[in-house]
Amino acid sequence: MKRKRIGVFVCHCGLNIAGSVDVEKVVEQIQDYPGVAHAEHYIYMCSDPGQELVRRAIREKGLNGIVISSCSPSLHERTFRNLVASERMNPYQCEIANIREQCSWPHPSDRETATKKAVAIIKATIEKLHRNIPLTPMVVPLTKRVLVIGAGIAGIQAALDIAEGGYEVVLVERAPSIGGHATQLSGTFPTLDRVPCLVAPIMAKVASHQNIRLYVYSEVEEVGGYVGNFQARIRRKASFVDEEKCNYCGLCLGSCPVTTHSEFDRGLSQRKAIYISFPQAVPPRPVIDNQTCLHFNGDQCKACEQICPSQAIDFQQQDTFVEEKVGAIIVATGYELYPRDDISEYASDPDVIDGLQLERLLSPSGPTTGEVRRPSDGKVPQQVVFIHCVGARDPEHGVPYCSRVCCMYVAKQVMLYKRAVPNGQAYIFYMDIRSDAKGYEEFVQRVVEEAGVLYLRGRVSKVFRDGEKVRVWGVDTLTGKSIEISADLVVLATAMVPNLGVKELARKLNIIFDEHGFITEAHIKLRPVETLTSGIYVAGTAQWPRDLPDTVSSASGAASKILSLFSRKELLHEPTIAVVDTEVCSGCGQCVSICSYKAIELDPKKRVAKVNEAVCEGCGACAVACPSKAMKHKNWTPRQFFEMIDVAAAEYV
């Protein structure tokens, strides 16, 4: 190995380092170390005069390796690598020896130890630097299009923000219409806006935006590639209605002889086998549900085809696939309610309904046109019990976490219920009231005062049918008394859970999700809209339960990350990544299975591992796993590590 001519620059960082490290002594002890051609110290290496010292030393002493002994590399590695690059040195010949966070700060009052440790850290870094090879960052092309998966409020907002930013968006939605759960809601808290009024305009905007390509009734089938260069394969499910020909007249709906439960009304109304999921659907085109359609179930029924004036019905239609190239992806797959069947206490009584069902009953455009009538007999319920935290905050019967929105939507529902049934009485069983956003606390107060609702702090132990009534047994933990209420209707605020299928999607995208299936963000505090995979972002309830404003904010946040990303011409990828020594590699494939980024594949012919350099994040897991040591991390080879350890630990051996 050819020894380099190395310059060592020791920073005082004011008193941050020099306060406990004797910088002069460090320079004294390091200047004769093998390979060191120059050593000096300065009060602030990162300052202009400090950088000038490095520049001058490179020129005058002909240095070809630089060790800056200063703070964490996360702070100034880039500064100094840019500096040496401007002196026509390879930037990867510059290393930072962290003698602040790892030395002066933890040893504030032990000057001797700190000084000794600083010398050891610098020597170890010199050893590493000797074996550093010159590297060049990879240039990765950038496709400035975005795939947004899910067209609920989050997906819509993200798509609109990016489209407004001037980039093309591919918006994929599984359901026949965009809009998500928000379209099912009766009103919003705390302003009691009508939801169609809120969402219809933005849905219309999505449909007409020139930068948005909308695929409804579609699913992401496969995703490959990496940041800047993803390819997505999208399955467009057969709707059996030709989208070019259909003119939305709706005649087909009347002709269909089949009726089945409406998903949109959560079983509280009926739809046909050919249906538009809800009147405000975007696009307003019908689809045929081949599970219930007689035509697909052995019957010859062609009622819809016969009535359609524009010959849009096409029973032969097949699923089709489209390929889209995008540079970034937003996951906005939303939520579902915790399945009620999982909670045996709340048996399957028609008058025990979930929150979304009550939303439909309260909605002026719902199955009862806004009149609150209970499903079993259509009577107006006079006593309604609302139960919080059903399946939430309840690790034994559901999920341990809090669903964040239930406290507020229950309060809102009570308000709307009281407006619809002024002489009715509402009871709410709660554990803690969580009304922690703008205007929320005040709203709950209003509900208590205006609607005269009885808030009971406690859990419900049993709900059962008792003739015309539903009996609720519970406990008021404030008075310690047990409570029995004979109710007409029971509303369950069931937990929000991630949308079904999101785990499968996450696997396709190679992003991480937590034990509940929510997408995991890169950093919970500071990178909440990024996933750990570059170029893939998360928005809305796919990440965690949240309400509309927080969903909209997170969608705009994810959009901004992409707008920033797309402002560049191309992407630079760090070259400190894994490399295979094909002479040694036995093709065992251990590295392939351990790589979280799917960056390694086996070359089927040569039977050796191959690293996709643009995908590799340089984590080093493969290098550790490789039994034959064929997999190496550039500039972090085992040899470099061992030589560093030898020096650093010399005194302790």
Least distance (Å) between residue 71 CB and other proteins: 9
- R_g over Cα of the chain: 32
Q: Among 334, 228, 328, which residue's Cα sits nearest to residue 537?
A: 328
Nearest-angstrom CA–CA distance, 104 and 102: 7
Residue 155: closest CA among 226, 231, 225, 206? 206
Please, what's the b/e burial string for 159-181 (b: 16 or more CB within 10 A of its CB; e: otherwise)? bbbbbebebbbbbbbbbbbbbbb
Q: Collect all residues with Cβ–Cβ distance below 8 Å to 81 and sequence separation of at least 6.
A: 91, 92, 94
Q: Which is nearer to other proteins, 15 or 133 (CB)?
A: 15
**Nearest distance from C-beta of residue 130 to other proteins, angstroms:** 28
Rounded least distance, CB 544 to other proteins, Å: 4
Question: Which residue of 25, 33, 90, 165 would you call a contact of other proteins, by CB under 8 A?
Answer: 165
DSSP assignment letter at 103: I
β-bridge pairing 425-430 and 454-457: parallel
Site for other proteins in 582-621 (CB under 8 A): none
Dihedrals phi, psi of 453, to nearest 5 degrees: -75, 145
Q: Which of 56, 61, 568, 606 lies at the binding interface for other proteins (CB under 8 A)?
A: 568
Give the span between the Cα atoms of 403 and 507, in whole angstroms. 24
Q: Which helix (H) or strand (E) holds 78?
A: helix 73-86
Give the separation between CA 573 and CA 570, rounded to whole angstroms.
10
Single out the residue of 119, 112, 202 nearest to residue 647, CA to CA: 119
Q: What is the 3-class SS of 341-374, one letter each residue?
A: HHCCCCCCCCCEEEHHHHHHHHCCCCCCCCCCCC
Question: Which residues in 291-330 contact other proteins (CB under 8 A)?
Answer: none
User: Quick one: 318 or 567, whose CB is closer to other proteins?
Assistant: 567
State which of residues 528, 590, 598, 639 lies at the interface with other proteins (CB under 8 A). Answer: 528
Minimum CB separation of residue 282 from other proteins in Å reads 7
Between helix 73-86 and helix 48-61 the angle, nearest 10°, is: 50
DSSP-derived letter for residue 233 is E
Q: What binding mask, one character per residue, do residues 335-374 give for other proteins by CB under 8 A, x or -?
A: -----------------------------xx---------
Q: Binding other proteins by CB under 8 A: which of 37, 43, 238, 594? A: 43
Site string for other proteins, 65-104 (x = CB under 8 A): -------x-xxx-xx-------------------------
CB 432, min distance to other proteins, A: 4
Number of residues that bind other proteins (CB under 8 A): 97
Nearest to 519 by CA among 538, 547, 535, 499: 538
Nearest CA among 93, 77, 81 for reference residue 5:
93
Q: List the interface residues with other proteins, window 391-420 (CB under 8 A).
A: 393, 400-404
Measured CA to CA, the distance from residue 46 to residue 470 in angstroms comes to: 73
CB-nearer residue toward other proteins: 97 or 199: 199
Q: Which of 44, 296, 464, 641 binds other proteins (CB under 8 A)?
A: 44
Tokens found for residue 196:
């169609």
Contact criterion met (CB below 8 Å) for 164 and 202: no
Among 279, 452, 589, 627, binds other proteins (CB under 8 A): 279
Say whether residue 381 binds other proteins (CB under 8 A).
no
- 208 contributes a contact to other proteins by CB under 8 A: yes
- The smaller minimum CB distance to other proteins, of residues 121 and 163, is found at 163
Indicate which single residue of 104, 541, 554, 637 sits in contact with other proteins (rule: CB under 8 A).
554
| CB of 559 vs other proteins, minimal distance in Å | 4
| Cβ proximity to other proteins, 342 vs 441, nearer residue | 441
- Which one among 2, 244, 526, 651 touches other proteins, defined by CB under 8 A? 526
- Closest CB to other proteins among residues 349, 476: 476
User: Which of 465, 466, 483 has its CA nearest to residue 474?
Assistant: 483
Site for other proteins in 178-207 (CB under 8 A): 188, 190-191, 193-194, 196-202, 204-205, 207
Q: Write phi, then psi, for 328 (nearest 5 degrees).
A: -150, 160
Q: In this structure, what DSSP letter does residue 516 have? A: T
Closer Cβ to other proteins, 88 or 525, answer by number: 525
Closest to other proteins by CB, 46 vs 594, is: 46
Min CB(546)–other proteins separation in Å: 8
Stretch 434-473 residues interacting with other proteins (CB under 8 A): 434-442, 445
Site for other proteins in 112-141 (CB under 8 A): none
Residue 628: CB minimum distance to other proteins, A: 37
If one asks whether residue 209 binds other proteins (CB under 8 A), the answer comes out as no
Residues 475-514 within binding reach of other proteins (CB under 8 A): 477-480, 514
**DSSP character for 537?**
E
Nearer to other proteins, 120 or 153 (CB): 153
Beta strands in 544-612 (DSSP E): 571-573, 578-580, 600-603, 608-611
Contact pick of 275, 427, 544, 636 for other proteins (by CB under 8 A): 544
Closest approach, Cβ 108 to other proteins, in A, equals 8
Closest to 81 measured CA to CA, from 120, 54, 42: 54
Among the listed ranges 12-20, 130-138, 173-181, 352-360, the one in contact with other proteins (CB under 8 A) is 12-20
Q: Which lies closer to other proteins via its Cβ, residue 456 or residue 644?
A: 456
Nearest CB to other proteins, comparing residues 58 and 153: 153
